[in-house]
């Protein structure tokens, strides 16, 4: 089936600060902004760039667990709070675990394709620093199957990905893989230091790679990952506008300030089943295959990629699943410098989930905003140089342990 019946673009991205441990202004003992504050900031940040709320036809918010983190549901009704001009306009809230942001993008894309909207305001949001980390881990475990959660680690998803890391160590070697994890962390921190909204923007450790080689201790955390292998608890929101060609004209935005959606994949795997192969993100592999096929391109045409590195092992496995490295060669690919901002395919150029932050419902939208900024030359200090032969951007947003996947291919409008 041909997915793109008309041209679809993304414009006017905006990120709030990814707030949490690591930011100088974060204090867990002081009152902090709530959902409505983050949503308003992100929404208004986009509206100011597209000529105001009157240009918006529909609204979508992606969020995972506000009911438990914030005791708040019915989040679509926050849109009129953002701007009174959004009153009485269609709005929905979508949920797909940690890929809720990507699912919100897909909802907006499909509205434009269905011709029910020419301009869709999309926001992804999560405010997680409302509970202690151990309780937050239990809330986030809702992305997994409940029967597994009952017998799983107290830190459920760190435990799941620690198990993947352990199998990878046994199969392909521990020492080199641990070094690749540490290199992944270092690159994430270095990239985050170039982005003022990143949670790790203030990180001044002189040697993050050595720090990340800290030996995992299963007695206090999990067996095969340390805390530097993990994304942090984050509060934040990201927003973007998804528009048609008519929507571009309505908002007064030139084509060279937009990215075109060239293709995508959106798939699910059975949440009740354990991975058939712990050394492979098979659902990531399939969703990227569908996204690239939809766009009519190959992986070697990708110039930059935003991947779901909730853990360093997930980042490594994504390199293999996308096809940048052969199975078992992901550590070599990273250690050879290919994922750095000056490498073959710069990855997570503002820090990714480990460096920028992981407000779960916002992550997929943040990925799109980062690629929009990179492809249009508006990434500021984080800007990379794209090779003419690799003009495309790719995002991979994952929910659960390789269960709910959204992948989008982007290209600068011209």
Indicate the DSSP class of residue 40.
H
339 vs 351: CA distance, rounded Å: 12
In contact, 248 and 255? CB cutoff 8 Å:
yes
In contact, 406 and 266? CB cutoff 8 Å:
yes
Q: Which residues in the chain come in under a pLDDT of 50? A: 1
Indicate the DSSP class of residue 96.
B
Whose CA is closest to 38, among 108, 127, 120, 129? Answer: 127
In contact, 26 and 363? CB cutoff 8 Å:
no
What residue ranges do the domains of the chain occupy? 1-414
Determine the pLDDT at residue 153. 85
Sheet with 302-306: strands ordered across: 91-94, 58-62, 119-127, 235-243, 9-15, 259-268, 404-412, 392-399, 302-306
Indicate the DSSP class of residue 54.
G
The CATH class for the domain spanning 1-414 reads: alpha beta
Determine the pLDDT at residue 3. 61
Alpha-carbon distances, residue 281 vs 32, 50, 170, 385, 396 (angstroms): 36, 38, 17, 29, 12
pTM score, whole prediction: 0.97
Determine the pLDDT at residue 1. 43
- Dmax over CA atoms of the chain, in Å, equals 59
Determine the pLDDT at residue 34. 95
Tokens of residue 352, six digits: 């990714």
């Amino acid at each position: 089936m041909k997915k793109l019946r008309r041209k679809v673009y993304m414009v006017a991205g905006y990120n709030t600060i990814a707030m949490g441990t690591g930011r100088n202004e974060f204090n867990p003992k002081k009152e902090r902004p709530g959902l409505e504050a983050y949503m308003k900031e992100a929404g208004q940040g986009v509206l100011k760039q597209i000529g105001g709320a009157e240009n918006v036809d529909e609204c979508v918010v992606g969020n995972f667990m506000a009911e438990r983190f914030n005791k708040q549901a019915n989040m679509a009704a926050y849109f009129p709070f953002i701007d009174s001009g959004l009153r009485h306009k269609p709005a929905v809230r979508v949920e797909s675990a940690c890929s809720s942001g990507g699912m919100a993008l897909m909802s907006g894309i499909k509205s434009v394709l269905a011709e029910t909207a020419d301009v869709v305001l999309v926001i992804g949001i999560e405010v997680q620093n409302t509970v202690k980390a151990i309780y937050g881990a239990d809330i986030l475990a809702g992305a997994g199957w409940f029967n597994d959660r009952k017998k799983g680690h107290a830190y459920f998803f760190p435990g799941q990905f620690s198990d993947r890391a352990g199998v990878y160590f046994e199969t392909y070697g521990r020492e080199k893989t641990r070094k690749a994890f540490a290199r992944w962390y270092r690159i994430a921190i270095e990239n985050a230091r170039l982005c003022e909204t990143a949670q790790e923007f203030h990180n001044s450790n002189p040697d993050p790679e050595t720090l990340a080689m800290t030996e995992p201790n299963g007695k206090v955390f999990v067996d095969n990952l340390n805390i530097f292998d993990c994304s942090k608890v984050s509060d934040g929101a990201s927003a973007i506008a998804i528009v048609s060609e008519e929507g571009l004209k309505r908002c007064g935005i030139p084509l060279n300030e937009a990215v075109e959606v060239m293709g995508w994949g959106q798939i699910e795997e059975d949440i009740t089943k354990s991975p058939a192969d712990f050394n492979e993100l098979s659902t990531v592999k399939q969703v990227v295959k569908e996204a690239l096929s939809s766009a009519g391109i190959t992986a070697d045409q990708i110039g930059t990629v935003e991947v779901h590195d909730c853990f360093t092992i997930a980042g490594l496995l994504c390199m293999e699943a996308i096809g940048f490295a052969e199975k078992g060669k992901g550590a070599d690919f990273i250690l050879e410098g290919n994922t750095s901002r000056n490498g073959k395919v710069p990855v997570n150029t503002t820090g990714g989930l480990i460096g920028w932050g992981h407000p779960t419902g916002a992550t997929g939208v943040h990925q799109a905003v980062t690629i929009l900024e990179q492809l249009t030359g508006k990434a500021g200090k984080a800007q990379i140089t794209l090779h003419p032969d690799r003009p495309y951007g790719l995002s991979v947003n994952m929910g659960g342990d390789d269960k709910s996947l959204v992948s989008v291919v982007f290209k600068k409008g011209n």
